[in-house]
Amino acid sequence: MRKQQVFRNVSCRKKALSIGIGLALAALSGSTFAKCVYEVQNDWGTGFAANITVTNDTSSAVSSWNVGWEYTKGATISNSWNVTLSGTNPYTATNASHNGSLQPGSSATFGFQATGASEVPTLTGSLCSTDPTDPTDPTDPTDPTDPTDPTDPTDPTDGNQVVFRVNDEGRITKDGEVKPVHCGSWFGLEGRHELPTDATNPNGAPMELYVGNTFWANNSQGTGRTIQQTMDEIKAKGINLIRLPIAPQTLDADDPQGQPAVFKNHASVRATNARQALEDFIKLADKNDLDILLDIHSCSNYLGWRAGRLDATPPYTDATRDNYIYKREDYSCGTDVGEGVTVQEYNEQKWLEDLRQLARFADELGVNNILGIDIFNEPWDYTWSEWKSLAEDAYQAINEENKNVLVWVEGIGSSTSDGTANPHGDEDTNPNWGENFYSMATSPLDIPKDRLVISPHTYGPSVSVQKQFMDPAQPECAGLSEDAAAKAKCNIVIDSDLLKSGWEEHFGYLKDKGYAVVLGEFGGHYDWPKSGAIRIQDMWSFLPKSDYDQKWQNALVDYMSDKKIEGCYWGINPESDDTGGLYTHAYDARTNTSGWGEWTGFETEKWEMLQRLWDSNPK
């Protein structure tokens, strides 16, 4: 359950591929001869972003360099980074103060954003070669129309060749070999909630992957971080599966909240649109041997975590929350609403078609890394019988399109929005949204066991202060939770035995029955309540310590390790207010709001905890 996500390798889009892939590939193939290489990083039709890499291919160090070029189609550069730029076509770039000195064999890369049509111009300069093997030579032997090109998306041997299954021990396999699940969620494409005061998109819901590189960082130069860099880093840390949340609107390349005009990433890494960003991410992950779990995270990019069902309608659970500006009472996925509510209609038919579309991605994108589909995030607003029927329909739809992927099913909650109680065992432990599989003991899902992953979500006080965290020494706090517990000045106690008994009857017992059980989400601020939203810090400031969620997370990992249960950590990126991530964040709600979206390092203790979990369940 995400309370709020507020936003304080890029590849060419399809159109660019259709008309300019020969130039792009030629430019790359010519880098053996050229010392200056021009590459279009992003093209959105009315403008583009490009990089130029300068390499000192001499035998001596240089202390400065320059590059010149001219556009024949009238493009105009609007801003640049890592370089001093002069001229108005032709342009001259000279090194910045930090990248002028180049040892033999070393390189410097700078970039810029421009309006107009993209092209690959001829480069001149102090380190630019005039080798006759011009990189735009049309006789380049790596002609992309070569029918043997292994990345050709129409190649019938591409995509969907890997078979993912669950074995008799409840372990996920990839082509028959056990695949240990070392997973984290990398979010943003499902939508975020912009501030009401945002200059260009107040209260918007842009669908943009967080990449740690915003347009205002480093005096608008950006941080230099790329998706490829992050993939390299998390893979080296042990991640082999990325859970990728999306919304139905992410699949619409024309949705206004999926366009560059509302994006906040730096131009050097800014996507063409949300749909293209999704496809590009999957393909880049495939090249990096990282598998993908696609997650339909809500019925709407505006509603996000609140939804709980396909046709969600207001009022939502945060409607009466104090000191909270991120409400969405004016949006709905259901049609039975009053005036003043924007309807983004969603229903079972639309949902099943979206699932079919995701199931076809392996073939359509020519990739082998679609491990599974998480069919709907935290369906807390259904009874078990309702959700069971929907999940079984989802399996049928996915299986008709792709028989090689796994179907991930989350649990329900403790009650629905109309007050209907969902059985969950002992009343002393309340399940998180998505955690409750209690009724599956008597009413199991009719989905083949070798295709099914049971995927509960569970969180500690950093996300939701539940009644099982109350101090028994305060009888007046019995049964309280969330804001009510804070107002009553209730202490927090992490009772691992009580927690484990709840996890066991909510989902753990299914592991003993041979099901694959993989937590779809868990995580939190290790130093809660010191970190997170200011309202939370203030509300819980009376607590004497700040290690409550750290204790909770480690109690969960102890339980998972004992049960051989695997999981996906929320999240890899740190922009979730109530959890943080596996990267540290320059942002501080009180002292550094401009640091939003800038990643500064690794959350070492969290990584160590995950390594302990991974070591407990090796291949």
For the chain, helix, strand, coil in percent to 5 are: 30, 20, 55
Average pLDDT over residues 540-568: 98
* Nearest by Cα to 136 from 234, 215, 28: 28
Whether residue 18 is contained in a domain is answered as: no
Query: What local confidence, expressed as pLDDT, does residue 137 receive?
Result: 39
Does the pLDDT at position 149 exceed 70? Answer: no
Whether residue 158 is contained in a domain is answered as: no
Query: What local confidence, expressed as pLDDT, does residue 143 receive?
Result: 38
Higher pLDDT, residue 535 or 47: 535
Which H, E and C letters describe 213-228, residue by residue?
CECCHHHHCCCCCCHH
Q: Of 51-60, 225-234, 312-321, 351-360, where does mean pLDDT reach its minimum?
A: 51-60
Does the pLDDT at position 148 exceed 60? Answer: no
Query: What local confidence, expressed as pLDDT, does residue 140 receive?
Result: 40
Tokens linked to 469: 């965290």
List pLDDT tens digits, range 48-66. 888 899 999 888 889 999 9
Higher pLDDT, residue 145 or 361: 361
Query: Dihedral, CA atoms, 391, 392, 396, 401, nearest 10 degrees?
Result: 20
Query: What local confidence, expressed as pLDDT, does residue 43 receive?
Result: 77
DSSP conformational letter for 294: E
Considering the domain architecture, whether residues 56 and 195 belong to the same structural domain is answered as no
Sign of CA dihedral 419, 517, 368, 10: positive
Per cent of the chain over pLDDT 70 is: 89
Does the pLDDT at position 35 exceed 80? Answer: yes
Query: What local confidence, expressed as pLDDT, does residue 526 receive?
Result: 98
| CATH assignment at residue 81 | 2.60.40.290
Asked whether 102 and 56 are in contact (CB, 8 A), the reply is: yes
Query: What local confidence, expressed as pLDDT, does residue 112 receive?
Result: 85
Query: What local confidence, expressed as pLDDT, does residue 138 receive?
Result: 35
Domain closes at, from 124, 142, 169: 124
Does the pLDDT at position 3 exceed 60? Answer: no
Query: What local confidence, expressed as pLDDT, does residue 2 receive?
Result: 44
Considering the domain architecture, whether residues 191 and 114 belong to the same structural domain is answered as no
Domain closes at, from 91, 109, 124: 124
Average pLDDT over residues 371-376: 99
Query: Dihedral, CA atoms, 123, 127, 131, 133, nearest 10 degrees?
Result: -50
Considering the domain architecture, whether residues 223 and 300 belong to the same structural domain is answered as yes
Query: What local confidence, expressed as pLDDT, does residue 16 receive?
Result: 28
Does the pLDDT at position 144 exceed 80? Answer: no
Does the pLDDT at position 11 exceed 70? Answer: no
Does the pLDDT at position 145 exceed 70? Answer: no
- In this structure, the strands spanning 107-115 and 406-409 are unpaired
Whether residue 535 is contained in a domain is answered as: yes
DSSP conformational letter for 583: E
Give the three-state DSSP class for 561: helix
Calpha distance 328→338 (Å, rounded): 14
* Nearest by Cα to 602 from 239, 290, 289: 239
Query: What local confidence, expressed as pLDDT, does residue 425 receive?
Result: 97
Q: Of 80-94, 125-139, 218-232, 467-481, where does mean pLDDT reach its minimum?
A: 125-139
Considering the domain architecture, whether residues 490 and 407 belong to the same structural domain is answered as yes
Average pLDDT over residues 325-345: 95
Q: State the CB neighbour count (10 A cutoff) for residue 591.
A: 7
Average pLDDT over residues 30-47: 70
Asked whether 49 and 222 are in contact (CB, 8 A), the reply is: no
Average pLDDT over residues 321-329: 92
Average pLDDT over residues 357-363: 98
Tell me if the bond preceding 87 is cis, omega within 30° of 0. no
Whether residue 569 is contained in a domain is answered as: yes
Considering the domain architecture, whether residues 223 and 102 belong to the same structural domain is answered as no
CA angle 357, 447, 166 (to 5 degrees): 90
Beta strands across the sheet bearing 91-95: 83-86, 91-95, 66-69, 124-125
Per cent of the chain over pLDDT 90 is: 79
Whether residue 144 is contained in a domain is answered as: no
- Annotated catalytic residue, options 521, 566, 598, 603: 521
- Annotated catalytic residue, options 190, 208, 378, 504: 378
Does the pLDDT at position 198 exceed 90? Answer: yes
Q: pTM for this one?
A: 0.78
Query: What local confidence, expressed as pLDDT, does residue 27 receive?
Result: 30
Strand partners, 184: 242, 569
Instruction: Judge whether 345 counts as a catalytic residue.
Output: no
Total structural domains within the chain: 2
Considering the domain architecture, whether residues 424 and 519 belong to the same structural domain is answered as yes
Asked whether 168 and 515 are in contact (CB, 8 A), the reply is: no
Considering the domain architecture, whether residues 477 and 382 belong to the same structural domain is answered as yes
Calpha distance 328→397 (Å, rounded): 31
| CATH assignment at residue 538 | 3.20.20.80
Instruction: Judge whether 521 counts as a catalytic residue.
Output: yes
Does the pLDDT at position 20 exceed 50? Answer: no
* Nearest by Cα to 438 from 395, 389, 501, 372: 501
In 105-237, alpha helices (H): 217-220, 227-237
Average pLDDT over residues 310-335: 95
Considering the domain architecture, whether residues 83 and 192 belong to the same structural domain is answered as no
List pLDDT tens digits, range 417-446. 999 999 999 999 999 999 999 999 999 999
Sequence-separated (6 or more) residues with CB below 8 Å from residue 131: 33, 34
Considering the domain architecture, whether residues 76 and 209 belong to the same structural domain is answered as no
Does the pLDDT at position 13 exceed 60? Answer: no
Sign of CA dihedral 338, 355, 522, 190: negative
Domain closes at, from 84, 108, 124: 124
Q: pLDDT grade, residue 160 (50/70/90)?
A: low
Asked whether 247 and 296 are in contact (CB, 8 A), the reply is: yes
φ, ψ for residue 183, nearest 5 deg: -125, 145
Q: Of the ranges 28-37, 76-85, 198-207, which is most confident?
A: 198-207
Whether residue 524 is contained in a domain is answered as: yes
Query: What local confidence, expressed as pLDDT, does residue 105 receive?
Result: 81
Full residue range of the structural domain in which residue 78 is found: 35-124
Whether residue 563 is contained in a domain is answered as: yes
* Nearest by Cα to 190 from 331, 25, 301, 343: 301
Considering the domain architecture, whether residues 99 and 193 belong to the same structural domain is answered as no
Does the pLDDT at position 506 exceed 80? Answer: yes
Tokens linked to 619: 């291949």
Q: State the CB neighbour count (10 A cutoff) for residue 76.
A: 12
Does the pLDDT at position 33 exceed 60? Answer: no
Does the pLDDT at position 588 exceed 60? Answer: yes
Query: What local confidence, expressed as pLDDT, does residue 75 receive?
Result: 92
HSE-CB of 49 using CA atoms within 13 angstroms: 22
Whether residue 511 is contained in a domain is answered as: yes
Considering the domain architecture, whether residues 426 and 493 belong to the same structural domain is answered as yes
Considering the domain architecture, whether residues 101 and 214 belong to the same structural domain is answered as no
Asked whether 365 and 159 are in contact (CB, 8 A), the reply is: yes
Average pLDDT, the chain: 89
Does the pLDDT at position 18 exceed 90? Answer: no
- Tokens 């409750």, residue located: 436
Decide: residue 590, CB within 10 A, 0-12 exposed, 13-18 middle, 19+ buried.
Answer: exposed
Higher pLDDT, residue 136 or 555: 555
Calpha distance 8→220 (Å, rounded): 15
